[in-house]
Structure 1
């Protein structure tokens, strides 16, 4: 799996203060209230890397120094090549694949630390 972070998304993550040297972006797949695991919603959550567990999988990401992780239990949901972008019009992050728009309004939760 590979995740590309566009320049727009990278600039916004920097503007939001992502501490890429010690934190990681968890591509969280939220299913609460969705009824079924395939109806979940992706969101970006900034976490200290030390909070990752053996249930998390670090994904190859371009460009460095950003790192993204996902939960192993939902890896099957995503395509092999993903793109995290930022929409100025919606003022939101977006998650895309070559085949579809997975989340056109993806939220970002900054780390509390």
Structure 2
């Protein structure tokens, strides 16, 4: 799997990541979506990996993904920003996976 951050996304995330010992995680969030196959990808800021997480190297910082949710992602993805909205976007050569991806800070374990 290849994940690339755009220069704009790196610029926006650097000050956030420098404020503490946090890691980025792409979370396939199904809370309130009805079932496990209906979800939305969100960018989480977490203190530690969960036991289902794998680490994927990127052109910026390593990012965590849930091994059990890899089927919902494309092999090549890009994380960009949506400047007027102040959020992020997850896209691949095939599709826009989430056009308005939030950055959510999680303080507790995510299991």
User: Which TM-score tier does this pair reach, normalised by the shorter chain?
Assistant: 0.7 to 0.9
* Unaligned residue ranges in structure 1 (runs of 5+): none
Residue 84 of structure 1 corresponds to 79
Residue 56 of structure 1 corresponds to 53
**Alignment length (residue pairs):** 108
Alignment CA distance shift 1:52-1:20 (3 Å): farther
CA distances 1:41-80 after superposition (whole Å, capped 9, x unpaired)? 11111112xx2133101012113xx121111110111001
Q: TM-score of the superposition, structure 2-length normalised?
A: 0.85
* Unaligned residue ranges in structure 2 (runs of 5+): none
Cα RMSD of the aligned pairs, angstroms, is 2.0
Moved over 4 A (4+): none
Look up the SS of the partner of 1:13 in the other structure: helix
